[in-house]
Structure 1
Amino acid sequence: MLTASGRNDGSEGRDQTLLYFGWLTLFIYLATPAGYLLDIQTSYLLKNQLHATATQISIFRLVTGIPVYIAFAFGLARDHWNPLGLRDRGFFLMFAPTTAAALIWMAFSGFSYLGLLVGMLLAMLSSRFVAAAYQGLIALVGQEKLMSGRLSALWNVVSAVPVVAGAFASGYISDHLAPQGAFFLVAAFTVLIALLGLWKPISVFGQLYEKPQARGADFIGNVRRLVKHRAIYPAVLICFLWNFAPGSATPLQFYLTNALHASDSVYSYYNGIFAAAFIPTFLLYGWLCKKVSLDRLLWWGTLIAVPQMIPLAFIHSANLALVLAAPIGLMGGIATAAYFDLAMRSCPPGLQGTLMMLVDGVLALSARAGDLLGSWIYNSSPTHGFTYCVIATTVVYALILLLIPLTPKTLIATRDGEPNPEAEVRNAPREAEPT
């Protein structure tokens, strides 16, 4: 669309940017070895064909999840390495096929516990490089084009699709798709990431790495800048607390199946409805972020989200749990999108991959730690254990309100698309740092 002066108003470029990241996000989350599709199949494969114990399956997940827990290391690699001279596209072209090769090898090699462990670990390692390139790229584009809010909304909406589909289709997949078929299917999605790496839309990559936000220093200098960058601390801590939900995983599953005598599928359906209910408020955030400053959205989203889990304390039937899953999910959408928006804005110049992957690892660790604490709280009282878990989750969410004031005001004072001269001045001296 042209303005009255005959110049392009940028809407076509923004649309192409959103289209590119929409497809990339979908392929990334469909292809992740840690996703529903492979996790369900490998757990059933270990249990039913290899007769692994619950402990062995837990160890399998723990070991293969190591690359996720140290995700920041892959982010550092993304920020310092330029594979094939193509930067992020080089990571897609190199490591997406590597991930696919590991998955295909597992499908053809015959299944054994050790073989699955080694193959899945290799797939997880290579896929983390792809994830680092994706998250670093989307954060860099969000910063440079002043559209971190819209990209956060897009990221969350599209990434929710595989989660929702997996939650509802998990039983069907395990019954009708052979283990080899699951590995081949995920490998195919991974190859699509590599093919997308051949595409270089000018709206995304035009002079992307030549601008100040993309410039870093040497390894030691970058580590020093990361540690001294005050904005990262509240952003990382907020994400940690948001995913540290002691009552939302194992305690809820046990409460539904043991206390309320619901079938195992009810917990899966609850998660599907819960995840799907986030999508409308993610879309709302994509509109609101252009009208309202991130400062207000952080406060609004958190205040709405603090009591998110309280309705769970009053459920007395499986059907009521499924009904309440929708409003509970709706209450978390604005907060989730705002926290991802904050993380993207908080990235130091040239270290987008490092911070975003640090957040990625923190989210995984906090989920595991919160679930562990929740299981302990749940087992502490046969009668009121789950209620205590709900209270603990609410208290943890309320702590986020104490962290929002610690976020640099210049970082969150603007709307999506609104220039922030003070933030640009703050980063100006770093333009002279070597790349």
Structure 2
Amino acid sequence: MSKNFKRASTKTPVASARHGAEGSDRILLYFGWLTLFIYLATPAGLLVDIQTSYILKNQLHATATQISTFRLVTGIPVYIAFVFGLARDQWNPLGLRDRGFFLIFAPVTAVAFIWIAFSGFSYAGLVIGMLLAMLSSRFVAAAYQGLIALVGQEKRMSGRLSALCNVVSSVPVVAGAFASGYISDHLAAKETFILVATVTLLIAVLGLWKPVSVFGQLYDQPQARGADLVGNIRRLAKHKAVYPAVLICFLWNFAPGSATPLQFYLSNALHASDSVYSYYNGIFAAAFIPTFLLYGFLCKKIPLNKLLWWGTIVAVPQMIPLAFIHSANLALVLAAPIGLMGGIATAAYLDLAMRSCPPGLQGTLMMLVDGVLALSARAGDLLGSWIYNSSPTHGFTYCVIATTAVYTLILPLIPLAPKELIATTDGELQPGVEAEVLSEIREA
């Protein structure tokens, strides 16, 4: 008996570690493909936005105001994204939970794209078709966001999933920035919508896949349990971790100098071509990827609280180099270090959001963050445009100062996050947090 006991005690930890590593790899593989399809197929993505803007401008001869109005109206489902997250947390379509959302709403979104492709292009038709696609795709996004946060909490791998999500979602952004001209010249609008519809159907195909490493007893754990609608809303409001996470994400995306002011500064003040702004965004987005990968390594070694501080301190002066550019070429050179400065912060803030989800409300909080990111980007760009126009000579410099000041406001918010929530590394047990979850579930 003693010999058998010794043999078991020496082999079991190794086998357990190997099993855990294999399970983590399968989880990352599943979410890698899912993230890629989600971001390639989203109606809010560059691939669709490029084609719709060219259709409106070149075929329908829409004015700049009409194009802006089109984007504002079709973006309404994004602004109220938390509603779709709440629906995800309350509803169990086909008895399959998140997979049910993929199986129902991914095909509906694909049908909307196909209808746009074959209905003939008109302003009203594009608005209706895009609204339908945006509405149905928000249910898909809610299931995806809620699922990845729930797995991140239960498997204690929110940091690695944050790094993965950020890396994979950067690929369509980078590709779109560099390939926008080629797409508009070589891929007809009809073909683009058919292509996006095909990718959207691949999300439904993933809905048929139920890897045990992801879904095994996933919805039976305390983190997945909620209450009725009123109880869930009450719990969301009382959950202290929600507020610093949402506010930090709002401030991080509220960058008055990074969009329209930069575009106008490059084209008007530096006399750069329109393509330079697109290339700048491509280099900027690509430069995040190395630090996202670095975060995936660091999060297993360093507690989240330190990564939040380090990432934010590095990110605060991120935009300052832009105040000193005097040529388009220098802007493209600086795009890489500027992007590198923001990677750790971006991954850490998403990690914090995943950890901050109340039990059973992962979809609601993650979609609330999603909507806040969209609204803050629009609001920051609006403020930045006003600041830029306030001074013909120093307007862009004022935008850079405003962006730096906004980023600085993130620092006093970090201590507001619950200490036990951010005190651990990825994969480390959180006894205090888990006890609080059980207590909250009992109350619910």
TM band (smaller chain): over 0.9
The structure 2 residue matched to 1:27, chosen from 30, 37, 52, is 37
One-letter amino acid of the counterpart of residue 430, structure 1: E
Task: Confirm or deny: 8 A CA contact 1:215 1:433 kept in the other structure.
Answer: no
The structure 2 residue matched to 1:234, chosen from 234, 244, 251, is 244
- Which secondary structure state, in structure 1, belongs to the residue aligned with residue 120 of structure 2? coil
Partner of 2:276: 266
Structure 2: distance between partners of 1:56 and 1:152:
36
Partner of 2:309: 299
Partner of 2:399: 389
Partner of 2:11: 4
Matches within 5 A, 1:20-419: 20-419=30-429
Structure 2: distance between partners of 1:179 and 1:433:
53
One-letter amino acid of the counterpart of residue 60, structure 1: F
Partner of 2:4: none
Structure 2: distance between partners of 1:86 and 1:16:
20
Structure 1 pair 364–145 and aligned structure 2 pair: CA distance change class (3 A): same
Structure 2: distance between partners of 1:75 and 1:185:
27
Task: Confirm or deny: 8 A CA contact 1:274 1:328 kept in the other structure.
Answer: yes
Structure 1: distance between partners of 2:427 and 2:109:
36
Structure 2: distance between partners of 1:433 and 1:135:
25
Q: Per-residue deviation at 1:341? A: 0.1
One-letter amino acid of the counterpart of residue 74, structure 2: T
Task: Confirm or deny: 8 A CA contact 1:251 1:374 kept in the other structure.
Answer: yes
Aligned length: 433
Structure 2: distance between partners of 1:50 and 1:8:
61
1:14-51 residue CA offsets vs partner (Å, 9 max, x unmatched): 00000000000000000001111110100110111111
Q: Per-residue deviation at 1:361? A: 0.1
Partner of 2:6: none
One-letter amino acid of the counterpart of residue 4, structure 1: K
More displaced stretch, 52-61 vs 246-255: 52-61
Structure 1: distance between partners of 2:437 and 2:400:
42
Q: Per-residue deviation at 1:97? A: 0.1
More displaced stretch, 118-127 vs 3-12: 3-12
- Which secondary structure state, in structure 1, belongs to the residue aligned with residue 227 of structure 2? coil
Task: Confirm or deny: 8 A CA contact 1:216 1:433 kept in the other structure.
Answer: no
One-letter amino acid of the counterpart of residue 103, structure 1: F
Structure 1: distance between partners of 2:443 and 2:99:
24
Taking only aligned residues, the RMSD between alpha carbons, in angstroms, comes to 1.0
Structure 2: distance between partners of 1:413 and 1:170:
43
1:345-380 residue CA offsets vs partner (Å, 9 max, x unmatched): 000000000000000000000000000000000000
1:391-429 residue CA offsets vs partner (Å, 9 max, x unmatched): 000000000001001111010000000001011111112
One-letter amino acid of the counterpart of residue 435, structure 2: V
Task: Provide the TM-score with structure 1 as the length reference.
Answer: 0.99
Structure 1 pair 250–99 and aligned structure 2 pair: CA distance change class (3 A): same
Structure 2: distance between partners of 1:108 and 1:403:
49
How many percent identity over aligned positions?
A: 83
Structure 2: distance between partners of 1:126 and 1:422:
38
- Which secondary structure state, in structure 2, belongs to the residue aligned with residue 332 of structure 1? helix
1:270-308 residue CA offsets vs partner (Å, 9 max, x unmatched): 000000000000000000000000000000000000000
Task: Confirm or deny: 8 A CA contact 1:25 1:155 kept in the other structure.
Answer: yes
More displaced stretch, 5-14 vs 261-270: 5-14
List gaps (5 residues or longer) in structure 2: 1-8
1:430 counterpart = 2:437: no
Structure 2: distance between partners of 1:41 and 1:273:
21
Structure 1: distance between partners of 2:260 and 2:156:
39
Structure 2: distance between partners of 1:7 and 1:160:
35
Structure 1 pair 127–3 and aligned structure 2 pair: CA distance change class (3 A): farther
1:322-341 residue CA offsets vs partner (Å, 9 max, x unmatched): 00000000000000000000
- Which secondary structure state, in structure 2, belongs to the residue aligned with residue 348 of structure 1? coil
Q: Per-residue deviation at 1:431? A: 3.3
Structure 1: distance between partners of 2:394 and 2:31:
45
